[in-house]
């Protein structure tokens, strides 16, 4: 089965996550099929907190990829983030 999940990077006490499509049998930080974006929970100043290629995420969801709970929340945040400038 294919999953959309987070892989961890960054330094100690300063996490940085990649949003990736991967096979569930791979380890958390193992190889991935495709990188969809990133999530930086410690973003400050001008740093970007979240960036997702929503078109590719939708492509994988249509083909049966299962997102984790956290990725579902991040995809919703990305959707709201994209709608906010359009409404302004």
Whether pLDDT at 65 is above 80: yes
16 Cβ contact partners less than 8 Å away, ≥ 6 residues apart:
8, 9, 10, 38, 39, 40, 42
Beta strands 50-52 and 66-67 are unpaired
> What is the distance between the terminal CA atoms of the chain, rounded to a whole angstrom?
40
CA distances to 32, 43, 74 from 23, rounded to whole Å, are: 7, 29, 20
Domains of the chain, by residue range, sit at 2-87
Give the pLDDT confidence score for residue 86 in this predicted structure: 66
Task: Identify the CATH number of the domain defined by range 2-87.
Answer: 3.30.1320.10
- What's the full length of the chain, in residues? 88
Whether pLDDT at 72 is above 70: yes
More confident residue, 19 or 83: 19
pLDDT tens-digit series, residues 6-64: 999 999 999 999 999 999 998 888 889 999 999 999 988 888 999 999 999 999 999 99
């Amino acid at each position: 089965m294919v999953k959309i999940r987070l892989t961890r990077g960054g330094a100690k006490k300063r996490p940085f996550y990649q949003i990736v499509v991967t096979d569930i049998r791979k380890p958390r930080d193992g190889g991935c099929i495709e990188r969809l974006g990133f999530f930086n929970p410690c973003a400050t100043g001008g740093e970007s907190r979240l960036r997702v290629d929503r078109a590719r995420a939708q492509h994988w969801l249509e083909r049966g990829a299962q997102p984790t709970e956290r990725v579902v929340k991040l995809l919703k945040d990305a959707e709201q983030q994209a709608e906010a400038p359009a409404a302004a």
